[in-house]
Each structure stands twice: as C-alpha cells, then as structure tokens.
Amino acid sequence: MAAQVLAGAGVRVTVVEHRPSVGRKFLLAGRSGLNLTHSEPIDDMLARYGDRRRYVEHAVRAFDASSLRAWAADLGEPTYVGTSGRVFPRSSRATSLLRSWLRRLDELGVEWWTRTIWTGWAADGALRFERGDGEVVTVRPDITVLALGGASWPRTGSDGSWVALLRGVGVEVADLLPANCGVMVDWRDEFVERHAGSPLKNVAVRVDGAALPAVRGDAVVTRLGLEGGPVYAVSAALRDMVVRDGTATLLVDLQPDLSVDRLTDRLRRRRPKDSWSSTLKRTVGLSPAAVAFVREVVPSLPGDAVELATVLKAVPVIVTAVAPIDRAISSAGGVVFSEVDDAFMLRRRPGTFVVGEMLDWEAPTGGYLLQGTFSTAVAAARGALRWRQER
C-alpha cells in the first residue's frame, strides 16, 4: 500500500520481499473470506484500537473504511457489507484482488526484489540486504518504509527477526505477543479424546474481573483449550491477566438468550428419573459437547435448579496461557510510539518509516487489523512524500 502511494506520486519504488512471492500473509488473511474493513461508524471503529487509539486515529480517519472500499473498487474488486457489518470484496477472496493490485503496481513501475532479506544497516547508514544466492547488496534510498509484520504466521515471512535489528540501533520495541488467539486449558484426556474439535454454538464469553462486554459467537474445543471468534475477541485481556496473575478465568454463558430465571424454570421441569445430563440436553437444549464441557469444568454439578442455572450462565474456565504467537492471528507489541513521529518516521533514523503490525498496537478481528495496517501505510507514505519534498 505504501508502494502504491509513493509510486503514484512519481517516486521510483523497489519492494524487497523475503519470500519467493509477495502478499503471502494477505492471501492467508483471505483464506476463509477476505474481511477488508468494517462498516460501523468511524468513532465505533476507532474504539476497537483501545488505548492505542490516540496514536492511529489520524491515520484511520485520513484513510478510512470508505477510502479502502474505493481503493478496492478502483482495482476492479467492488465490496459488499455482510450481515455482521464486515466488508468483503465481491469475490470474497484475496487472490483476484492481489492479482489486480500487483498489475497496478507493475503499471506504476514498481520493481520487485524477491528472495531478499533485509539484514540491517551498514556502518555508513546504507541498507544491507542478502539475496537468496548469498550475495550481499547495500543501497541508500531517499525513503525507507519498513513493513515487516509482527510475528504471527511466520511461514509467510513475518517472523519478528527485525526486532533485534531495531533494538540494535537503540529503537525501543515492546515484546511481540500473541493477539487474537486461542487459550490453553488443562482438559482431562478423556474429554479431549471425545470432544476435541466440537463447537460450543451460540455462546457468550467474558473475562472475569475485566470491564469488557460479553462477546457472542461459536467457540471450539481444541486439544489444547478453546478457540473461535468470541475467544479471540477477549484473548488480549486474558493474555494480560495470565502475565500478571499466572491464570485468568473465562466465563462462558451457554444460553445467552435465556435469563437465570427462565433457565431455572426449564431446569425445574426435570423428570424425576432423568439425570442432569439428560435434562441439560432435553430441557435446556445443550449439545452433547456442551454438556460434557460443563461436566469437565464443574465436575460436581449443584442439585439446586437456581444454582445450576447460575453455573450455566457463567461456566468458569481456568485459562493457564494463551496460544503461542506462531499460532495467533496477529501480534501485539512492536515499535513504541514515542520512537516515531505522526507520520510513523523513526526519530532515530530520519527517512525511515515503520507501518502495520511493526507498530505497538493491536485490534480484534473484524476488519480492524487490515484497516489499521492499510491506514498506517498510507499515512507513512504521505508523510514520506512531505519529508522528501521538504528536503
């Protein structure tokens, strides 16, 4: 995105790519439908960036969801708004959009170096690269935009190796941490063998002790714990609690459409000869996996209907860790904002800009990650053009 803005302004641009082909993480993001951005009002969108909002707000406002949709349409990929408010290209996939994008960049004269890795700065300040055949190349561009990603999905090229390079020249970088990830739970072997891969449909989850709203959706039991959209949405709070306290508690509401009183009424209809498991399936409507999940977390179910209803509305799952960063959708941490100016230029390296997941922000899934990445890239490119013109 930075290359398109720069090349569109008449600047000669070279994109240097570690992997054999470009856009691998973009393609991965579109594997199950490319969620480009979200259609909600801009202030609601900005709230998704949490306490980092003040650092990215100017970029997101300057290149917002409507700008991103117009960009896609200009590439021949009009977008539509899904039922959840998320925005997708009409084709729903990343392949055709990326193909059109690369053609546009070719038309703008962008040059590509693939199988080439950035290895830092030479003693004289030039950029140093190593090609796939071992050749070392140094260049001294007017503008450098670093768009090296975080550390999730390292097979796409974003392995976080740049952290040591920036720290080596005095740039403060917050540790890269998993974001939008599953959580680890100490299940018993019998439960895992029977129910790993089973969904917990239409649940609501919240974090005990965190001032966050409940998030609804489908969770999935895995061999290591829980995954799924609602779990990803609260994973940052769980991660921070685990770091601080050693564990965190995820409260799972198995019947978010029923109040405790209505659930109690259903439980009181229990047939005398029915077990609680049969009642939970027949009267409450829980799936076999959900019943097993309750029994796994709360082995001794209360015999009182009110107490059991209360448990079903907040099954307390002890989270021992979050999934490792190479299994996360995105990463938190990165270059702290005191190290860059409003255009995301490194104060210690004038002319060098940092964008996307390299910066210390995070956001939930739903289009906010790609929106923030695109917006910071556009802001950096526009800032780079101003900086170059002033010089």
Tokens 């895995």 found at: 222
Q: Which two tokens mark 112?
A: 């590509």
Q: Which domain holds residue 292?
A: 183-322
pLDDT value of position 65: 98
pLDDT value of position 278: 83
157 lies in the same domain as 262: no
195 lies in the same domain as 290: yes
- Phi first, then psi: give them for residue 369, nearest 5 degrees: -70, -50
173 neighbors 357 (Cβ within 8 angstroms): no
Q: Which two tokens mark 184?
A: 């680890």
- CA 372, distance to chain mean position in Å, is 11
Alpha carbons within 13 angstroms on the beta-carbon side of residue 279 total: 21
346 lies in the same domain as 277: no
11 lies in the same domain as 160: yes
Q: CATH number of the domain that 92 lies in?
A: 3.50.50.60
301 lies in the same domain as 347: no
127 lies in the same domain as 193: no
- CA 343, distance to chain mean position in Å, is 23
Domain end (from 294, 322, 350)? 322
2 neighbors 148 (Cβ within 8 angstroms): no
354 neighbors 222 (Cβ within 8 angstroms): no
113 lies in the same domain as 9: yes
pLDDT value of position 386: 97
318 lies in the same domain as 332: no
pLDDT value of position 247: 97
49 lies in the same domain as 152: yes
Amino acid at 116: T
pLDDT value of position 184: 97
Q: Which two tokens mark 301?
A: 């179910």
pLDDT value of position 230: 95
159 lies in the same domain as 27: yes
96 lies in the same domain as 160: yes
Give me the residues paired with residue 127 across strands.
121, 139
81 lies in the same domain as 172: yes
Give me the residues paired with residue 220 across strands.
199, 227
pLDDT value of position 282: 84
The continuous run of DSSP H or E covering 66 comes out as: helix 65-74
Long-range pairs for 293-297: beta carbons < 8 A, 24 or more residues apart: 293/191, 293/195, 293/200, 293/221, 293/252, 293/254, 294/254, 296/187, 296/188, 296/191
> How many structural domains are present in the chain?
2
Q: What is the rounded distance in angstroms from the CA atom of residue 255 to the CA atom of residue 312?
A: 7
The continuous run of DSSP H or E covering 146 comes out as: strand 144-146
pLDDT value of position 304: 87
Q: What is the DSSP letter of 323?
A: P
Give me the residues paired with residue 346 across strands.
340
Q: What is the DSSP letter of 154?
A: G
Q: Which two tokens mark 331?
A: 């990463």
Number of H helices, E strands in the chain: 14, 19
Q: What is the pLDDT along the chain (391 residues), one digit of tens a residue?
A: 999 999 999 999 999 999 999 999 999 888 878 999 999 999 999 999 999 999 999 999 999 999 999 999 999 999 999 988 999 999 888 999 999 999 999 999 999 999 999 999 999 999 999 999 999 999 999 999 999 999 998 888 889 999 999 999 999 999 999 999 999 999 999 999 999 999 999 999 999 999 889 999 999 999 999 999 999 999 999 999 999 999 999 999 999 999 999 999 988 887 777 777 788 888 888 999 999 999 999 988 888 889 999 999 999 999 999 999 999 999 999 999 999 999 999 999 999 999 999 999 999 999 999 999 999 999 999 999 999 999 9
